[in-house]
Structure 1
Amino acid sequence: MTNPDDQFDELMRRSLHDEAEQVQPADGLHQIQARVRDQHKPAVRRPWLLTAGAAVVGTAAAIGAFTMLGNDGPATKDAEVAGPADSTKTVTGPVPASQLPTAAPATPEPTLAPTEAPKVAPTPRGKVEQVTSKAVPVYWLGKTAGVDTGAGVRLYRTWAQIKGRPAYEALRLMTSGKSVDPDYSSPWQGSAVSSVTRADGLITVDFKVLPRQQLAPAVANMAAQQLVYTVQGAMDVTGPVQVTVQGEPVTRLFGVDTAQPLSRAQALDVQAFIWVTYPENGTIVRAPLKVSGIAAAHEASLNYRITANKTGQLIAEGSTQTTEAYKLTPYSFTVTKLPAGEYTLEIFEISMEDGRQTSTDTKTFYVR
C-alpha cells in the first residue's frame, strides 16, 4: 500500500515507465530476472542543494523523523514477519522495466553472500514472510553541497533484485554500506538485522547489533528515515517503525531519542532535490539517450552537461524543465549524438543568488 499523501513515488512511476526499457546490463549483471508484484568523474560530485528561490519547499532541519505515529499504516489481522530465509540470495544489476514496480528505475546493487542468520520462528502475532524474487528499494545518504544549514545529507533511492524475504534483504543491503554509486553511504554499516515483523500496523525491526557511532541530531534523523523508507518500501506498506535490539526497544539511536516509533517524513523534507533516474550509475545504453528523473527546482528550470570521461570533452549541454516548480515532479530530455565511450552526466541548478552550480546529481554511463 502506498501513502496517499506522498505523491513522489507515483510521479516517478508515471514518468519512468518508458525510460527504464532502455537498460542493457553491463557484463556480469545480465542475470537479473525480477518479478515484482503490483505496485568519472564529474566536475561537481553530488548532490542536492535547493537554490535560494526554492526555499518555499521547507528545510531539512525541520524533519519530524522521530515523531510518534499512532496508526498511520493499515492495520492487519495477520501480522507479517520478515527474517532470514533458509536460502536467500541478492543479485545485482539493472532490473528490466517490465518486472519493476510501475516505471521504477533500474539500479545495480552489490551482491551479498547468502544469509547465515538463524530461522525466525512464527509468533502468536504473525507468520514468517514468504521467500520471493522481486526488486526492492534501498535508500542511502548522499551529501549536500554549498549550504551550511540542514542535515548536510539527503536520501537517494536505488533498486536491488533480491531472492529471499524482501524487507530483511533490503535492510541487509542498506546496512552493508556497499552501494555501487560512490556518492552513497550508510551510517547503518556494521549493524546486523535479525528480523522484521509487522502486526496491528506497527513494523518492528529487530537488530542483533546496532551502530555505536554518535551523529548530529539532524543527521541521525536522516539515518532513521533511511531505515523507515527502506523497510516500508520493501514491504509495500506504511506505518510507524519500532527499532529493537534482541527484542528490547531502543531508546537512543545514533545519540538521539528513539523511544517512540519512527514515522515517515514527507519526501520534500528528506529526499534529494534532483534525482537522475535514468541512466543509472554504470548503465550501458545506446544513442539516442533519453534522460529522465525527478526534481524540485526553482522556476522548474534545470541544466545538464555530458562530458567524455577519457578526454574531458564537453559532448552536450543545455536546459530542461520539470513539470512544476518547487515540487518533486518529472523531467526528461533526449541526447541524440553520443559516440561509443564512457561519459559523466550532470543535472544541476544555477543559483540565482550568485550563479553557482548547485543541487548536482551525477551518473557515469557507457554508450555501446
Structure 2
Amino acid sequence: MLPAALALSGCVATPQPGVTNANTPSQVMPAQASATSAPLETTQASNKAPVYWIGRSNEDTFLYREFRDVPEQDNPVTRALRVMMSQKPLDPDFFTPWQNPKKLATSISGKNVITVDMSADAFNSNVDPAMAERAVQQLVYTATAAAASAGLIDAGQQIQVVVLVDGHTDYVAFNHVRLGAPTARSAGMVAPVWIIDPQEGTSVDDGAVKISGRSTDPGGELRWEILRIDGSITTSYLNGTVTASAGTGEAGAFSLSVNLGPGNYEVRVSQLEEANPAEDLNVDTRGFTVK
C-alpha cells in the first residue's frame, strides 16, 4: 500500500507534439453516445470486482464492464487493476492494451483521490493516440468502480485518479498520454449500450431469464433480440423493444424477462436511430447457456 498522503514528484514537462494530458482527453464521442457517463458503482457485498475493458461497437470504441472473481490478497482497487492488466475479458469482443506490471500499488486519500503507482512495463503495447486515451480511461473507470463497490470512497463526491509510474509523474503512457494530473471519468467513453446480466459465457436456469443493462440515452428506445444457437446454425428466437429508464436514480437502466428452455443463446441489444430505425446502432451482445 502506498502512503495515504503521497507527495507527487516531478516537474512540469515541456509539451510534446501529439501528447495529450490524462485529464483532458482529445477524443470526443458522437453526440448520441455522450448523453451521460456511467454512474459510479454502488457498494456491494460480493467478492467480484468490477473491471472495464475496451470493445468496438459499429465504427467506435468504448468501455464495457464485467464483474470478475478476484483473489483475496491486496486491496480491492489493486485486485481489480491487476485483473485488468493480466487477464483476458470473458467476452471475446473486448480487449485490453495493458500488460501485467511487475509493480502495482494503490492508495486512497481522504479527498477521494485514488493514487495508482505501477512499473513502466505496464505500457509495453503499441497503440495509437485514441486507443491510448481509452486505455487510461479504462484504468480510471476500473479504479473508481472498485473503490466505490468496496465502499472505500464517498460516492457523493467527484472521484479522481492520479497515476504514477515508478513513483513519478509526467510519464507519457503508450507514448501518447501524459500521466500525473488528477483525472476523473470522461463522459462519452463508456459504451452507449451495455448488457450487465447475463455475463458472457454464464449459465442460467431455464424458465424466466432476466436480461438487464444500461444505455447512455435515458428514456430512449432499445431494440433487443434473442438468437438461439444450435451448433453452426443461428436463428432468431425472440425480439422486441424496451425503453431505458429516465429516473434520476437509475437513469438509462433497462431490463426484460424472457422464457427460455435449455440451450445456447445470444442476446443483442441496440439503440434505435430515429432517422434510420432499421439500423442497429451501438450493438452489444452476450452469449449464455440455459440449463
Asked whether the two chains share a fold, i.e. TM above 0.5, the reply is: yes
- Among 157, 161, 176, the alignment partner of 1:256 is 176
- 1:311-364, CA deviations, whole angstroms, 9 ceiling, x for partnerless residues? 312211111111239x9511111212x221001110112333343212111111
> Per the alignment, in what secondary structure is the counterpart of residue 309 of structure 1?
strand
Counterpart of 2:69 in structure 1: which amino acid? Q
Counterpart of 2:133 in structure 1: which amino acid? N
Instruction: Give, in whole Å, the separation in 2 of the partners of 1:334 and 1:293.
Output: 12
Counterpart of 2:117 in structure 1: which amino acid? D
> Per the alignment, in what secondary structure is the counterpart of residue 94 of structure 2?
coil
Contact 2:164 2:180 in 1 (8 A): no
Counterpart of 2:35 in structure 1: which amino acid? V
Decide whether aligned partners of structure 1 residues 260 and 56 sit closer, same or farther in structure 2, where only a CA change above 3 A counts. Answer: closer
Partner of 1:188: 98
Decide whether aligned partners of structure 1 residues 55 and 168 sit closer, same or farther in structure 2, where only a CA change above 3 A counts. Answer: closer
1:164 aligns with 2:77: no
1:290 aligns with 2:198: no
User: How much does 1:144 deviate?
Assistant: 2.5
Partner of 1:309: 229
Partner of 1:280: 199
- Give me the TM-score of the superposition, normalised by structure 1: 0.59
Partner of 2:286: 363
Instruction: Give, in whole Å, the separation in 2 of the partners of 1:235 and 1:299.
Output: 29
> Per the alignment, in what secondary structure is the counterpart of residue 164 of structure 1?
coil
Contact 1:273 1:295 in 2 (8 A): yes
- Among 60, 63, 68, the alignment partner of 1:155 is 63
Partner of 1:225: 137
Contact 2:98 2:124 in 1 (8 A): no
User: How much does 1:177 deviate?
Assistant: 4.0
Runs of 5+ consecutive residues of structure 1 not aligned to the other structure: 1-49, 61-99, 105-132, 147-151
> Per the alignment, in what secondary structure is the counterpart of residue 245 of structure 2?
coil
Counterpart of 1:159 in structure 2: which amino acid? F
Contact 1:224 1:262 in 2 (8 A): no
Question: Which has the bigger relative contact order, CA under 8 A and spacing at least 6?
Answer: 1
User: How much does 1:199 deviate?
Assistant: 3.6
Q: For residues 84-163 of structure 1, what are the structure 2 equivalents within 5 Å?
A: 101-102=43-44, 134-146=47-59, 152-162=60-70, 163=72
RMSD: 2.9
Instruction: Give, in whole Å, the separation in 2 of the partners of 1:56 and 1:179.
Output: 24
Counterpart of 2:47 in structure 1: which amino acid? K
Indicate the percent of aligned positions where both proteins have the same amino acid.
Answer: 27
Instruction: Give, in whole Å, the separation in 1 of the partners of 2:220 and 2:30.
Output: 11
Runs of 5+ consecutive residues of structure 2 not aligned to the other structure: 1-28
Q: How many residues of Structure 1 are paired with residues of Structure 2 in the alignment? A: 241
Contact 1:308 1:344 in 2 (8 A): yes
- 1:179-223, CA deviations, whole angstroms, 9 ceiling, x for partnerless residues? 111111111134344211234534322222231334333322221
- 1:108-151, CA deviations, whole angstroms, 9 ceiling, x for partnerless residues? xxxxxxxxxxxxxxxxxxxxxxxxx83221111111314xxxxx
- 1:19-49, CA deviations, whole angstroms, 9 ceiling, x for partnerless residues? xxxxxxxxxxxxxxxxxxxxxxxxxxxxxxx
1:333 aligns with 2:272: no
User: How much does 1:51 deviate?
Assistant: 8.5
Instruction: Give, in whole Å, the separation in 2 of the partners of 1:56 and 1:235.
Output: 24
Of 155-164 and 347-356, more deviation after overlay is shown by 347-356
> Per the alignment, in what secondary structure is the counterpart of residue 131 of structure 2?
helix
More strand by share: 2
Partner of 1:348: 270
Partner of 2:116: 205
User: How much does 1:167 deviate?
Assistant: 1.6
Partner of 1:18: none
Instruction: Give, in whole Å, the separation in 1 of the partners of 2:80 and 2:241.
Output: 35
Instruction: Give, in whole Å, the separation in 2 of the partners of 1:256 and 1:230.
Output: 20
Counterpart of 1:175 in structure 2: which amino acid? M
Counterpart of 2:220 in structure 1: which amino acid? A
Partner of 2:23: none
